């Protein structure tokens, strides 16, 4: 066997590990209108956003829900609206809930970050912490995922707003991962904080439209994934000051077919995994719970275009296998989280969007 064939065989073998049993799926409610994100509260209850500008408290046992008031005004045209929601890691003590949304501003709209304290059925003392500037007259690529790392820093993803060169401009928040203190202040050790030609909130750049973020349970680092164009969806591990390439490096192509850029460029950080053709990833969660030992060491990712839940099996920072769950359901999977009892919780992006509970089959 030639060396080329040996390498190819080894690669295929790594992704040919037998598929485990599909999970048991239970629909908790199908009364959500294009939900975008979910987060768990310390008592096990859920908060779920809808793009049209609603935030729901949801009982995970019954699907009962109540509207939460005190929300910002959103611009829900196209891909905009009320987007991510995240409870502070110390929510039991401080009641902070974080939101991202597409909001109007001079010149168009922008990805916004804000927080309020959840008291009963209302967010009180709500404040806008950050607006990703410049504002752009566009309805796409808001990014908007949130995650706290182990050190308590808040990471926020921002898409390129459909204008790709913004992702290489350090004077522009769009197309980047931003890093904050929990109160919205910019950390003094952010990589570009001392550069007058750069935005101090930027942690990494060269991102197209990152719609997934999660914190690795062992390393405490934030991982993200992002949409490519025609192919080239990526899983990345943001690092301080690093350029992740868009649009000067990509595995994707123009929608009409031509090549955009090489898939490797010196000095540019590449993905640890990519999907070509695209799956349109959205939402992500690491599994680290004793309830399902067979799921340990997995990263779960929703797929909008290919309509499944992807299970990536990991060895450290390498993807060593991938399975596709729920393909036969043809649901657009928008977000996924691990619940306090070890079940996977998934929302589907439809007018009759579902909240699903997945347990080992």
Per residue in 204-260, pLDDT (tens digit) is 999 999 999 999 999 999 999 999 999 999 999 999 999 999 999 999 999 999 999
Within a domain: 232: yes
Q: How far is the C-alpha of 228 from the C-alpha of 260, rounded, in Å?
A: 11
Within a domain: 309: yes
Within a domain: 158: yes
Is residue 3 helix, strand or coil? helix
Taking phi over 0 as left and psi of -120 to 50 as alpha, with beta for the rest, 10 belongs to alpha
CATH number for the domain harbouring residue 354: 2.120.10.30
- In the chain, how many domains are there? 1
Percent helix, percent strand, percent coil in the chain, to nearest 5: 5, 45, 50
CB-based contacts of 347, cutoff 8 Å, min separation 6:
32, 35, 36, 37, 38, 48, 283, 333, 334, 335, 353, 354, 355, 356
How far apart, in Å, are the Cα atoms of 330 and each of 156, 179, 258, 305?
A: 29, 35, 30, 10
Within a domain: 236: yes
Domain that holds residue 178: 30-359
Q: What is the pLDDT of residue 21?
A: 75
* Active-site pick, 88, 130, 141, 216: 141
Q: Is 141 a catalytic residue?
A: yes
Per residue in 9-47, pLDDT (tens digit) is 344 444 444 455 789 999 999 999 999 999 999 999 999
Q: What is the pLDDT of residue 10?
A: 40
Is residue 238 helix, strand or coil? coil
Q: What is the pLDDT of residue 312?
A: 99
User: Contact 136/110 with Cβ under 8 angstroms?
Assistant: yes
Phi, psi angle pair for 4, to nearest 5°: -60, -45
Within a domain: 25: no
Within a domain: 165: yes
Element (H, E) at 157: strand 154-158
Q: How far is the C-alpha of 176 from the C-alpha of 358, rounded, in Å?
A: 32
* Angle made by CA atoms 177, 181, 184, in degrees to the nearest 5: 80
Tokens of 244: 């992740």
Q: What is the pLDDT of residue 14?
A: 44
Which mean pLDDT values do the consecutive 10-residue runs of the chain (361 residues) have? 39 46 95 99 99 99 98 98 99 99 97 99 99 98 99 99 99 99 99 99 99 98 99 99 99 97 98 99 99 97 99 98 98 99 99 98 87
Tokens of 319: 């993807």
Q: What is the pLDDT of residue 20?
A: 56
Within a domain: 3: no
Q: Quickly count: other Cβ atoms within 10 Å of residue 119's Cβ.
A: 11
**What pTM does this model have?**
0.94
Contacts 24+ apart (CB under 8 A), 181-189: 181/152, 181/153, 181/154, 182/88, 182/96, 182/148, 182/152, 182/153, 182/154, 183/129, 184/113, 184/115, 184/127, 184/129, 184/130, 187/153, 189/240
Within a domain: 61: yes
How are strands ordered across the β-sheet holding 82-87?
82-87, 96-105, 108-119, 122-131
Q: How far is the C-alpha of 63 from the C-alpha of 71, rounded, in Å?
A: 22
């Amino acid at each position: 066997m030639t060396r080329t064939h040996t390498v190819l065989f080894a690669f295929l073998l790594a992704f040919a590990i037998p598929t485990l049993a599909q999970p048991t799926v239970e629909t908790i409610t199908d009364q959500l209108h294009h939900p975008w994100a979910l987060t768990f509260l310390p008592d096990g209850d859920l908060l779920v956003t809808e793009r049209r500008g609603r935030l729901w408290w949801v009982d995970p046992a019954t699907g009962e829900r109540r509207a939460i008031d005190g929300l910002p005004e959103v611009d829900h045209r196209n891909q905009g609206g009320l987007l991510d929601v995240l409870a502070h890691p110390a929510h039991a003590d401080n009641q902070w809930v974080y939101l991202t949304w597409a909001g109007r501003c001079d010149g168009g709209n922008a990805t916004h970050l804000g927080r309020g304290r959840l008291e009963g059925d209302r967010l009180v003392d709500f404040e806008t912490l950050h607006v990703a500037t410049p504002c752009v007259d566009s309805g796409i690529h808001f990014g908007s995922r949130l995650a706290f790392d182990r050190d308590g820093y808040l990471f926020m993803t921002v898409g390129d707003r459909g204008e790709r060169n913004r992702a290489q401009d350090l004077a522009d928040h769009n197309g980047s991962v931003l890093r904050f203190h929990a109160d919205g202040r910019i950390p003094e050790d952010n990589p570009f904080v001392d550069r007058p030609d750069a935005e101090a909130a930027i942690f990494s750049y060269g991102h197209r439209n990152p719609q997934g973020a999660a914190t690795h349970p062992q390393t405490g680092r934030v991982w993200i994934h992002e949409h490519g164009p025609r192919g080239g969806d990526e899983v990345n591990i943001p690092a301080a000051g690093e350029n992740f390439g868009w649009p000067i490096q990509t595995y994707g192509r123009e929608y009409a077919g031509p090549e955009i850029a090489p898939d490797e460029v010196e000095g540019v950080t590449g993905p640890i995994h990519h999907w070509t053709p695209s799956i349109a990833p959205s939402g992500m969660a690491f599994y680290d719970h004793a309830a399902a030992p067979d799921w340990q060491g997995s990263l779960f990712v929703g797929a909008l275009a290919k309509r499944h839940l992807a299970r990536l099996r990991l060895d450290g920072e390498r993807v060593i296998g991938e399975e596709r769950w729920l393909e036969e359901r043809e649901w657009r999977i928008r977000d996924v989280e691990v619940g306090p009892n070890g079940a996977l919780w998934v929302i589907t992006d439809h007018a009759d969007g579902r909240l699903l509970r997945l347990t080992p089959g």
